Structure 1
């Protein structure tokens, strides 16, 4: 995964600050490694990568130089890529990061950095000793300064497939705040959770997924090293988040696309092979035949206009902070695909969220109408995810999400015309009946009765009563300020997550009428 699709751009004349790992005892595995201090300019070697499909191909390299850190350790190796396959595929390509480089038949490191708009046969190699330190749980880090390179950070490119254009645009916008640059890929099929075995070795193409199932968010790279069930890849950080839990898939390279800026590998996930557990400066660490903790999201949508039902399922890592945006983007796109349109309509929504936070199941039913029904109908889900992720009481682990919807294009709103009380006078403790006259959108008038029991301790005088709809947002949508307020957690009167949740679930629904009175008017004389 190199710029344009995963390499980091490098300028070859100014100082750099690298996050490097101090040497510590590690298990190096069965594969022989080449000592960094033995690397000399002019040495010939070779590497492995996948240019198409899953076939690992060999290419040649020639060492040009090494770049020192301030203490003479943790150098990068500058090499030139050679051979027919390299030439035919436009030189260095995004997705080659992690490709193992061998000198004297010993593993020297992994391709990790490249040069945009420059010589496409030049690459920088992260030494294998820096990557192997990632296997040490007690690793120490130190900042080292060099004198030759400046790494220019770029947004990490990820491929999004299985979505329509609007879903992709929503996803791309949400991923920007995490430092990801999204690239649209035509539907690459469904990624299942069936575990594959024995599918990768050094040089194999892998896909790191933040979302699997009917839609995928993935990044392509190459395996550098494997020992038993442990493997190293990429040669640089995916997003440098430290301890992570992502899906790792064998990847199928559909095509290496040539580009004057930098060629890139267009790929798709094939079989689940394990999980990614570390994401550090020198590379990523994976473990084979283990499945990450994930949240299954199941969506069942019925389009009443066409009498069609569509089901969709995807999976996101439960420990990743980006799960909120992955879920909202995925559900919105599933709605768009199910109704095959963007526009106004009504939606009857049933949400179920399984958690491990003392609440076995969170259930919310509601009715929505909006000019953009796909976006409006997930308002409750959006808020619940905010409540679960952002609350400061306790961590809540989600075990699963179920979204069931019925949608149509009907305009199911009504306007309150007037409110009439059946009694002009009443005593404290009496039940007063009100009749609310509603005018349905381009339809008939209807009368809805509401009963209200006067507080026992109320003083004599005039009491002002108002009736409104359950949601100010149901028909038109929030303005920007209202949106911020709507998703701000209100801790007033709460002592726990359960209190926060109970307050939200007690809020009126969009198809309910709410009667309110102003307590400040209770003592006013008639």
Structure 2
């Protein structure tokens, strides 16, 4: 190439490169200026919290819920994981499901709920949408293929806080009225009494319909780790799920501050029914916590209204999946307060308060074992205390002795009240001895607490039982007075011959002391066993109680079957007025009372009781004799 041409080409290349280098910054600036400004990055969607807040959250109104909304919930599902989160999809709202109450339908998933379905013990699990509290999972269907549930709106639960905190009142009155109680105890026939006692526990509704989730009721200290006969009856009536459990300190109390830090929405909570040597506690889930108040369950426990019941922490161990109804196994922890309201939309509890309890002491001995003593505490309530006391005693009898078969129970019981100690001493024998014994005590305690006359709280229950696997009894074969005619003021020995079952014969002497002011004439003397003597005396002096004191006086007339009894009467006109027997009235007064007219139901009296004597025997006695004796005139 020619030198001149080469120089020209180099000059052209340099000029082009210089022009390009000068134009690039200008073009780049122009391009940047012309390009649209980048939009700010969209904020990341807030993920649901791993655990619920222990502070009250904002409420999501029911009227703003629509099908398809997504949410989440919390519940302690065991396995050592504590509170776990699960997913929720709103299906719709049942308006006015109950008076002035809606019910939210939803389907849950996650945390294994596709496999287990809705779990008994999830009652009260808080449900959230957009981080706001919707309500408490509370309802479900057994045998459901999908985990569909009913949610109680939180607004309905918060209304519980405004319920009047009136003191606990009798639930539905006594199981039986005074007249029926007198008849049952007089005849010692308690058939039908258990059904009456369990009537308030029964849940209405079809077994296949949607209903509030059953509560798993944990029991510890039962015979062989299993619930006793009576607890099974109560659980069946109330719809509870019986779940064996342990106790990690139900008798301990936790300070309110430490409890508030441990109890939060989604954690498990127990309502303690019975503690001590046996534990019964119903487990549900906390929905809402605010300062010293707790809302839980989302449905009633037993619809008792104002109530005092210990409230304790609970730890879920695991979940037992079931085609019919999965449920939680839980241990009951320290008591941290008390339940004060049991309403249709849940229960309300208070931190730091202590529920009133009824101490129960049971002493039992048998042919093979020395005396053993058991201590329990039961909720103080006319509906619960009688049944819980009976469950505790039934548990002791079943644990120490055989479950079935003939037996003899020498029974001594005392129910302590502010007025007096109400004693019920008797003997039960045969195949139904255990059932009749615990039912009779429950019936008596229920009547005292819920009687139709006045309030009578129970301060404690003491029971002493002597148990024998053998059928024990004795039979009266002969009754003979030393003389059949005597004068007022004399003592007349009456010999009673008894033959014991598979034993020998023996003689017992009962003394008839004739009062000095007894007028001459016939004297009727009844000698017999406790049951026969009670029935005979009620025939002469009919019971017509018109007050609680008269009912208690009647119970004092009950003579135990393991006793020999002597009762002496003479003829004299009288009447029963306002439940009080008025014997040996002047003829004019007796005639006036007798002519009061028909229909008032007040019995007349024809005899006056001169003497009543009871002598305890080692075994139940059967047999009776009526003696017709004579009081001679005194020869001064």
Give the TM-score normalised by the residue count of structure 2. Answer: 0.65
Q: Aligned-pair RMSD on alpha carbons?
A: 3.6
Q: Deviations over 1:67-121 (max 9, x none)?
A: 333999743322221324433x523222212111111212111112223333433
Mark the CA change 1:349 to 1:73 in structure 2 (over 3 Å): closer, same or farther. Answer: closer
Q: What residue is the counterpart of 2:397 in the other structure?
A: 335
Q: What residue is the counterpart of 1:56 in the other structure?
A: 83
Q: What residue ranges of structure 2 are gaps of 5+ in the alignment?
A: 1-54, 166-207, 572-627
Q: State the Cα distance separating 1:226 from its structure 2 match.
A: 0.4
Task: Give the counterpart of 2:243 among 185, 192, 206.
Answer: 185
5 Å-filtered alignment, 1:113-512, equals 113-137=139-163, 152-153=210-211, 156=214, 158-159=216-217, 161=219, 162-164=221-223, 168-174=228-234, 179-186=237-244, 188-189=246-247, 192-196=250-254, 197-198=259-260, 199-307=262-370, 309-340=371-402, 342-356=404-418, 358-359=419-420, 361-362=421-422, 369-371=429-431, 373-375=433-435, 381-382=441-442, 384-409=444-469, 411-456=471-516, 460=520, 463-472=523-532, 492=544, 496-512=547-563
Equivalent pair of 2:480/2:496 in contact (CA under 8 Å): yes
Q: Which moved more, 1:516-525 or 1:286-295?
A: 516-525
Q: State the Cα distance separating 1:366 from its structure 2 match.
A: 5.3
Equivalent pair of 1:112/1:126 in contact (CA under 8 Å): yes
Q: Deviations over 1:399-447 (max 9, x none)?
A: 2222233434455422111111111321233221111111122222211
Mark the CA change 1:405 to 1:247 in structure 2 (over 3 Å): closer, same or farther. Answer: same
Partner Cα distance (1:412, 1:380) in 2: 21
Mark the CA change 1:272 to 1:320 in structure 2 (over 3 Å): closer, same or farther. Answer: farther
Q: Which moved more, 1:387-396 or 1:162-171?
A: 162-171
Equivalent pair of 1:190/1:214 in contact (CA under 8 Å): no
Partner Cα distance (2:307, 2:413) in 1: 28
Q: State the Cα distance separating 1:221 from its structure 2 match.
A: 1.5
Q: Deviations over 1:325-349 (max 9, x none)?
A: 2211221221221235544444454
Partner Cα distance (2:107, 2:435) in 1: 50
Partner Cα distance (2:213, 2:229) in 1: 16
Task: Give the counterpart of 2:107 among 77, 80, 88.
Answer: 80
Partner Cα distance (1:137, 1:83) in 2: 36
Partner Cα distance (1:75, 1:427) in 2: 83
Equivalent pair of 1:167/1:329 in contact (CA under 8 Å): no
Q: State the Cα distance separating 1:137 from its structure 2 match.
A: 2.8
Structure with the largest fraction of helix: 2
Alignment length, in residue pairs? 468
Equivalent pair of 2:120/2:214 in contact (CA under 8 Å): no
Q: State the Cα distance separating 1:55 from its structure 2 match.
A: 0.6
Give the TM-score normalised by the residue count of structure 1. Answer: 0.78
Q: What residue ranges of structure 1 are gaps of 5+ in the alignment?
A: 1-28, 140-149, 475-481
Equivalent pair of 2:365/2:467 in contact (CA under 8 Å): yes
Mark the CA change 1:160 to 1:365 in structure 2 (over 3 Å): closer, same or farther. Answer: same
Equivalent pair of 1:175/1:182 in contact (CA under 8 Å): yes
Partner Cα distance (2:62, 2:438) in 1: 54
Partner Cα distance (2:485, 2:630) in 1: 15
Partner Cα distance (1:414, 1:69) in 2: 66
Partner Cα distance (2:264, 2:145) in 1: 29
1:46 aligns with 2:72: yes
Equivalent pair of 2:123/2:215 in contact (CA under 8 Å): no
Equivalent pair of 1:305/1:409 in contact (CA under 8 Å): no
Mark the CA change 1:464 to 1:115 in structure 2 (over 3 Å): closer, same or farther. Answer: closer
* SS of residue paired to 1:398: coil
Mark the CA change 1:436 to 1:256 in structure 2 (over 3 Å): closer, same or farther. Answer: same
Partner Cα distance (1:524, 1:431) in 2: 12
Q: Deviations over 1:285-343 (max 9, x none)?
A: 11122222111212222334134x43322222112413212211221221221235544
Q: Deviations over 1:12-49 (max 9, x none)?
A: xxxxxxxxxxxxxxxxx742222223323332221110
Partner Cα distance (1:72, 1:367) in 2: 51
Mark the CA change 1:338 to 1:107 in structure 2 (over 3 Å): closer, same or farther. Answer: same
